Each structure stands twice: as structure tokens, then as C-alpha cells.
Amino acid sequence: MKEFAIYTGLRLALFVVSFGILWVAFHNWLTIWPLALLALVITSILSLFVLRSARERLAGKIESRADRMAARIEASRKAEDDD
């Protein structure tokens, strides 16, 4: 699933950027773990707005795949009922 890889890569890139900015700004006051945790929180919030289009494309792909699977299951069920 290309959309999944793109969305995951964008989330990772957003985390790296957030962590980098926090590291430059606060590395004298905080250790690596609080900075990473803060970067995760910031990334989670930012991704809701920044990555909306990528998330919608991923959701659309998952939905269409689930619909195709449900149609195949239903067709298989009807074929069994006809036998």
C-alpha cells in the first residue's frame, strides 16, 4: 500500500523535524527522552492538520479495499447458498 508508506514517512519526517527544532531550542535544559516525548505530542497534534490530505487518501484506499473484500465475501456466500 503506497498510501500507507507515504503517510508513515510523512509522520516520521514530521517527528524528525519537531525533534530537531526542540533539540536546538531545549537541549541544554532537557534530556533526550523528554524531548522525544514532547516531539511525539507535537507531531500528533500537527499531523491532524498538516497531514489531512494524505490521511484522507489512505482512508479512501482502505475503504475501497474493504468494500472489495466484503463484495467477494458476499459473492462467495451467495455461491454457497446456491449449491
CA atoms within 13 A on the CB side of 63: 6
The pLDDT assigned to 83 comes to 59
pLDDT, tens digit, 9 for 90 and up, residues 63-74: 988 888 988 888
- The per-residue DSSP string of 39-63 comes to HHHHHHHHHHHHTHHHHHHHHHHHH
pLDDT digits (tens, 9 = 90+) for 39-52: 999 999 999 999 99
For the CA atoms of the chain, what is the radius of gyration?
Answer: 21
**pTM given for the model:** 0.76
* pLDDT at residue number 76: 82
Average pLDDT over the chain, rounded to whole?
Answer: 90
In the chain, where are the structural domains located?
2-82
Measured distance CA(8)–CA(60) in Å, rounded: 16
In the prediction, which pLDDT does 3 show? 85
